[in-house]
Amino acid sequence: MPPAFRAAPVRVRVPATSANLGPGFDCAGLALALHDHVEVQVVDSGLSVDIAGEGAESLPRTERHLLVSALRKAFDHLGGQPRGLEVRCANRIPHGRGLGSSAATIVAAVVAARGLVLGAAEVLDDAAALRLAAEIEGHPDNVAACLLGGLTLAWTEAGGARAVRLEPSAELAPVVFVPSTTASTKKARGMLPEQVPHADAAANAARAALLPVALVSDPSLLMTATADLLHQQYRAPAQARTATLVAALREDGVPAVVSGAGPSVLALTTASGRDAVAGRSARGWTVLPLDVERSGAAVVPA
């Protein structure tokens, strides 16, 4: 029996995210207070896609749009497709900059589909929504932070993706440096070696274990906890400006990392030092002081 759909539109707000946070490769994620809004309504027939903001000039307005394809997969998971869809996107998260724009789109689709299918919340709770979103995305770090908010640690096991959410320190005050250039996550992953030195792996494991302690309870440890030997150095040749900015910030005592696959840079500052970091002269970069998004994806009034 096909599902029953709500007639009213569902509007979803989803945050940007930064993954890896240095040593937490494909595991750690932080939600940031920069949001996309998506509104989806079931209609009698057809497909209508309206896009404002990021991607308005380049994204397809067809079934090829990631939001639409993710909606289709979510509706299939929930029992069947609606007759028609009207989709409206208001995008603020930069695309191709390592700030989780694709994860936000996928999470928005899953949450919107759950809101449109009557009774879906009983079969698609947040744990199931995470598994589905991670399956669509291919890895769980960004989608976990986007869905749950705050700091997340995600992993994949036999039953699919799982995550735990932690509450970041109230002192944490991120600053994001966004370049005008974009980067391909697929290309960035292709630059990683199949093997790394045992000493580097051991050092990274220690930093990754320290990372949640630094982010949750002791920001004074962030410089040590954000040191990475697993992925950033291997991607640096393709993102020279990113590597240079990360190095310059760290030389000045600012815990800085590549945001996701880059090329954005995330500086994990505290409230007392954020203004100085945000006021740095960084030609060619847009500087965004962003709070931590603590509530994650949410259905909001349409």
What digits encode the pLDDT tens for the residues 244-282? Answer: 999 999 999 999 999 999 999 999 999 999 999 999 877
Are 87 and 75 spatial neighbours (Cβ–Cβ below 8 Å)?
Answer: no
If you average pLDDT over residues 19-37, what whole number do you get? 97
Q: Where are the domains of the chain?
A: 10-166+293-300, 172-289
Are 152 and 29 spatial neighbours (Cβ–Cβ below 8 Å)?
Answer: yes
What values do phi and psi take at 6, rounded to 5?
-70, 145
Query: What's the pLDDT tens digit per position in 236-245?
Result: 888 999 999 9
Q: How confident is the model at residue 227 (pLDDT cuts 50, 70, 90)?
A: very high
CATH classification (class only), 10-166+293-300: alpha beta
Tell me the pTM.
0.95
| pLDDT at residue number 184 | 77
Q: How confident is the model at residue 225 (pLDDT cuts 50, 70, 90)?
A: very high
- Angle, CA 227 vertex, CA 251 and CA 146 arms, to 5°: 110
CA distances from 28 to 42, 183, 193 (A): 35, 20, 20
Are 249 and 222 spatial neighbours (Cβ–Cβ below 8 Å)?
Answer: no
Q: What percent of the chain stands above pLDDT 70?
A: 100
Nearest to 268 by CA among 11, 24, 27: 24
Residues 6+ apart with CB under 8 A from 172: 215, 219, 268, 269, 270, 292
Q: Would you give the DSSP letter of residue 292?
A: B
* Domain 172-289 sits in CATH 3.40.50.2000: no
Two domains, one topology: 10-166+293-300 and 172-289: no
Q: What percent of the chain stands above pLDDT 90?
A: 88
What values do phi and psi take at 134, rounded to 5?
-65, -35
Encoding tokens for residue 203? Answer: 């050092």
Instruction: State the average pLDDT for the chain.
Output: 95
Q: How confident is the model at residue 301 (pLDDT cuts 50, 70, 90)?
A: confident
Encoding tokens for residue 214? Answer: 């630094």
In the predicted structure, residue 179 carries a pLDDT above the cut 90: yes
- Give the number of other CB atoms < 10 A from CB of residue 183: 21
Indicate the helix (H) or strand (E) that contains 74: helix 66-77
CA end-to-end span of the chain: 29
Between CA 91 and CA 36 the distance in angstroms is: 5
CA distances from 246 to 38, 42, 264, 265 (A): 33, 45, 10, 7
| pLDDT at residue number 182 | 85
Query: Residue 257: beta bridge partners?
Result: 266
Q: How confident is the model at residue 193 (pLDDT cuts 50, 70, 90)?
A: confident
In the predicted structure, residue 189 carries a pLDDT above the cut 90: no
If you average pLDDT over residues 86-114, what whole number do you get? 97
Query: What's the pLDDT tens digit per position in 104-163?
Result: 999 999 999 999 999 998 889 999 999 999 999 999 999 999 999 999 999 999 999 999
Encoding tokens for residue 182? Answer: 């974009």
| pLDDT at residue number 281 | 75
In the predicted structure, residue 188 carries a pLDDT above the cut 80: no
